[in-house]
Amino acid sequence: MAASYDFIAIGSGPAGQRAAVQAAKVGAKVAVVSPLHLGGVCINTGTIPSKTLREAIIDLSGSRQRRLYGMGPPVSEVTGAQLLARTQAVIQREREVIRHQLERNGIDVHCGFARFEGPHEISYEGPDGSRGSIEGRFVLVSVGTVPARPRELDVDHETVLTSDDILSLPRLPQRLLVAGAGVIGVEYASMFAALGVDVSLCDVRETFLDSVDGQIRELFRSQLERGGVRLHLGERIARLETGPSHHHRVVMESGHAIDADVVLVSAGRQGNTAGLALDRAGLVADDRGRLKVDAVYRTAVAHIYAAGDVIGAPQLAATSAEQGRLAACHALGLPTEARGELLPYGIYAIPEIAWVGKTEEDLVAEAVPHVTGLARYGEIARGNILGDFDGLLKLLIHRESHDILGVWICGTHASELVHIGQAVMALGGRLEYLVRTVFNYPTLAECYKVAAFDGMNKLRGYGGKPPAAASPAC
């Protein structure tokens, strides 16, 4: 007879992990069904590997030091083995952290690929061929996503790769074409360029990173190109011409051709629901494998929830974890609060981009009166110490109320710095707060105060009332 549980999480990524722990904390009997390794895409092929790889590249390539000292280790000496050694160590450590957390909370882990046998019944098959089945009063589908594959290219995992293949690269390519200038595409393009790889980045769209504030996007583009990435926007791939000894040519519909040893496909991601037999549970995924949920992450079947990347945007690890927790709370009758809408976003390219709130283009379209406050890393002592002279922190400030409407950062530690702005905005802080606040010196956090004074001076130029904290000498 199948074991019975109060709550089953299918998948052990951020959503499944957090949901399972939340359910266990209130005394529910909980199981997690996870294939191969704990942690899902986040730990094994996505967030953690790519961010660790980025840090390894920055360290081994000496990219942070070159502008300071005019030198650095020759990038030709950096090997794939060196890059992957640190990545694999971090992955293994994170897997163990999750395993211990689940064990401490008395959560049963069933290793295998899950599929529905009915609305409450789930079977699984382990990598060794072992089989089992369990039943759950509530079920959470948190299976994440897999890379989408374009029609124009045949992914063979040798010449044409997806982001899942990066960790198995036998050698660094001399020439890399990244097909798709989305978040994943620009991240990997900037990383490989930092290693001295000849990188081309193409996209069928005329622009890229459209959700990013225009001023920040242009600053990032200039740094990306200066770092050695060649952008080919408005180009659609027609075919791949394979040659000997890793000499290949990608031909565009325009006739333009790009030589590359390896092509990295970055065509977005789709829900990893193909093998779940959703129809047996009464569920239907959309054409990208995603499940539709309501405000409490409940699917069309009342006792089945879904959370994380499998439900679509924003597809952030931190957000997925909170979605899973809230889904478990609702299923088990716990009080829940709506997730905050001030979500922080980060693009872990070289340099980083991070933001919270509106873009300036949003404010213009909505006819919101505003000014900007800017702080350039090159004018901040910490920026000069780090050798980041091009970074920028941008505040969007309501011209009348002085509310902070958006924070945008391009530069070192952007993904960390953005949380200061997020906290100020969430707690109703205005420009005056940042003007009055004392930040440690020298830190990049000082950018907030510099940007606040810049915004204050612009408000005076518009005839606005200056912040009360300001003195006539400011």
Do 192 and 258 have their domain in common?
A: yes
Instruction: Please report whether residue 338 resides in a domain.
Output: no
- Domain end marker among 244, 267, 290: 267
Are 105 and 32 contacting, i.e. CB atoms less than 8 angstroms apart? no
Cα torsion through 292, 296, 298, 304, rounded to 10 = 140
List the CATH number of the domain containing 196. Answer: 3.50.50.60
Instruction: Please report whether residue 195 resides in a domain.
Output: yes
DSSP annotation of 118 reads: S
Instruction: Please report whether residue 472 resides in a domain.
Output: no
Do 80 and 222 have their domain in common?
A: no
Give pLDDT, residue 474: 43
Instruction: Please report whether residue 152 resides in a domain.
Output: no
- What single letter denotes the amino acid at residue 163? S
| Entry pTM | 0.91
Instruction: Please report whether residue 346 resides in a domain.
Output: no
Checking if the pLDDT of 111 tops 80, the result is yes
Confidence band for 140, pLDDT divided at 50, 70 and 90: very high
Do 8 and 132 have their domain in common?
A: yes
Q: Can you tell me the mean pLDDT for 81-95?
A: 87
Instruction: Please report whether residue 397 resides in a domain.
Output: yes
- Domain end marker among 278, 298, 331: 331
Per the structure, the complete domain to which residue 186 belongs is given by 160-267
Do 116 and 215 have their domain in common?
A: no
Instruction: Please report whether residue 474 resides in a domain.
Output: no
- Percent share of the chain, pLDDT over 90: 73
Q: Can you tell me the mean pLDDT for 245-252?
A: 84
Across 190-302, where does the E strand assignment appear?
198-203, 229-233, 237-241, 248-252, 257-260, 262-265, 269-271
Do 121 and 193 have their domain in common?
A: no
461 phi and psi angles, rounded to 5 deg: -65, -30
Instruction: Please report whether residue 469 resides in a domain.
Output: no
List the CATH number of the domain containing 407. Answer: 3.30.390.30
Do 58 and 123 have their domain in common?
A: yes
Determine how β-strand 3-10 pairs with β-strand 131-141: parallel
- Domain end marker among 243, 267, 291: 267
Do 34 and 49 have their domain in common?
A: yes
Give pLDDT, residue 348: 95
Nearest to 408 by CA among 218, 265, 279: 218
Do 308 and 413 have their domain in common?
A: no
Are 299 and 318 contacting, i.e. CB atoms less than 8 angstroms apart? no
Cα angle: 243, vertex 245, 247; to 5 degrees: 45
Give pLDDT, residue 470: 47
Note if the bond before 351 is cis, omega within 30 degrees.
yes
Give CA separation, 314 vs 14, 213, 294, 319, in Å: 14, 17, 15, 7
Confidence band for 471, pLDDT divided at 50, 70 and 90: very low
Do 172 and 218 have their domain in common?
A: yes
Confidence band for 372, pLDDT divided at 50, 70 and 90: very high
Do 68 and 215 have their domain in common?
A: no
Confidence band for 71, pLDDT divided at 50, 70 and 90: low
What digits encode the pLDDT tens for the residues 312-357? 988 889 999 999 999 999 999 998 876 667 899 999 999 999 999 9
321 phi and psi angles, rounded to 5 deg: -60, -45
DSSP annotation of 166 reads: G
For residue 34 the two structure tokens come to 């996870």
Number of C-beta neighbours around residue 69 at 10 A: 9
Give pLDDT, residue 9: 97
Do 135 and 166 have their domain in common?
A: no
Lowest-pLDDT choice from 117-121, 296-300, 373-377, 466-470: 466-470
Q: How many domains does the chain have?
A: 3
Do 188 and 277 have their domain in common?
A: no
What digits encode the pLDDT tens for the residues 213-227? 999 999 999 999 999
Sole residue written with tokens 């325009």: 254
